[in-house]
Amino acid sequence: MRMSSMSKILVILLVIAVACSSTFAGPDKKAKKAYEAQNFEQAARILVEKLMKKNKHQDNINLMERSLENAFKKGIREAEETERRGDMDNAVAIYRRLKQLGDEVMFLEVIKEMKIDGKKKKVPYTFEVPDISAKLHELESGAVEGHYVKAVQLQEASSWKEAAISFRHAREYDQNYKDAATRYAECREKAILRIAVMPFEDISGMSKFGTVNLQVTEQVISSALNLQPEFLRFVTRDYLNQLLAEQGMQQSQIMDQTTATSLGKQMGIHAFVFGKILSIVDNYPSETTTTGVSEAYTYRNKVKIPLRAKWTKYTNRGSVEIRASYQIVGVETGTIMAAETQSNVASQERRWLTYIGDDGAIEADRAVLSHNVNPNQHEVDPPQVLAQQAILKLSSSLATKLVAFFD
């Protein structure tokens, strides 16, 4: 008997359906790869995202079960080894990571195909996750007490900064743990270094930019304070003037490391920062132009139509570069602790074009306008504006270096 045309079509469709189902079968490739590399936690986290979108994917559900089991076994084993080495913080971190994974998995609502009374049924399913809350609490309690005991020992040894850091670590577990907050404040206060940033000297000869030296000085202090250094206190200009007035002096009299050393000890300052504005260079080259022709094609009613445009591209540029140097003078030793020269540039560019011809021919060339804040604004900002940007960049960079050096 010959197969009818309709039967042939049904067979073909069935074959295609089987082929397609086999193509999309199997667990997520990234999750499977992570599992095979024994990155079980990574595999489980990938599968969490996949099952949130497709909660009936049986292969992903099966792989999730294996990933979870192995992730917890491996993680707990690593945490136990870390605990034996006395590294309680990392042991806590591992358990917290596992608990977060478990919490994410508990929110999953998947449908699993299971055999019930000899029949396959799809039912709501919850993954089994070990309860590690008690062990996590035990580790956290051990970690906070360990930091506290260590901090007290350091405090008794007058290691103020190290003690403060250990008290802070204890409070990261429990803000109200014993008297850690009070002890932290006491140790931090004794560990603080007081730094006086003296007004920078401007030797650039560029008076048209105003009081750049004072702007840099104030911005350095402001930027440093914004970084919230734990063990630094920057002496403001007003407070420094007050301290100097008590000594019958002015800021201009603190000129070198010799005077800084003797006065610093009297005023409780640990280090002075002296700086110079070495140069300010503005560069505004003439406007440049390039000309050319662009050609393209379009189709109307299946007819190829050439497009052509003659264009002129314009470019305006401007930049201001500021170079500065600084020295850090330690009061206790009376020596230069660090010195560096640094430069920062603020620049701007405007590009635009004009053309005669077909719009379609210059479609790609219009991208040059994206370089403008305002496509219709062709002039770059004046030197004074770019100088302010350069000052901010320079001051921020200097402040970061100062904080990193001391803190």
- 59 with 26: CB under 8 angstroms? yes
318 and 251 housed in the same domain:
yes
**386 with 312, same domain?**
yes
Q: Are residues 57 and 156 in the same domain?
A: no
Residue 210 backbone zone (phi > 0: left; psi -120 to 50: alpha; other: beta): left
Same domain, 349 and 204: yes
Residues 6+ apart with CB under 8 A from 7: none
Same domain, 349 and 303: yes
Same domain for 22 and 118? yes
| Domain end call among 95, 116, 131 | 131
Asked if 207 and 330 sit in the same domain, the reply is yes
Domains in the chain, number: 3
DSSP H helical segments within 111-194, as ranges? 133-156, 160-173, 180-191
pTM of the full structure: 0.74
- Within-domain flag for 5: no
In this structure, the answer to whether residues 177 and 239 fall within a common structural domain is no
Cα 324 to Cα 161: distance, rounded to the nearest angstrom = 32
Each residue's pLDDT expressed in tens, for the chain with a length of 407 residues:
444 554 444 444 444 444 444 344 689 999 999 999 999 999 999 999 999 999 999 999 999 999 999 999 999 999 999 999 999 999 999 999 999 999 999 999 999 998 887 788 899 999 999 999 999 999 999 999 999 999 999 999 999 999 999 999 999 999 999 999 999 999 999 999 999 998 899 999 999 999 999 999 999 999 999 999 999 999 877 777 787 777 777 666 665 667 777 778 888 899 999 999 999 999 999 999 999 999 998 988 889 999 999 999 999 999 999 999 999 999 988 889 999 999 999 999 998 888 899 888 887 776 655 444 455 678 899 999 999 999 999 999 999 999 999 97
Decide if 108 is inside a domain: yes
The parent domain of residue 175 ranges over 135-191
Residue 3 lies inside a defined structural domain of this protein: no
CATH code for the domain of 270: 3.40.50
Question: Considering the domain boundaries, does residue 51 fall inside one?
Answer: yes
Task: Determine how many CB atoms are found less than 10 A away from the CB of residue 306.
Answer: 11
Q: Are residues 153 and 266 in the same domain?
A: no
Backbone torsion region of residue 99, taken as left when φ is above 0, otherwise alpha when ψ lies between -120 and 50, otherwise beta: alpha
Whether 256 and 107 map to the same domain: the answer is: no
Q: Pseudo-torsion of CA 171, 175, 181, 185, nearest 10°?
A: 70
Domain boundary (131, 157, 180) is at 131
Q: Tell me, what's the pLDDT at 368?
A: 56
The pLDDT value recorded for residue 236 is 76
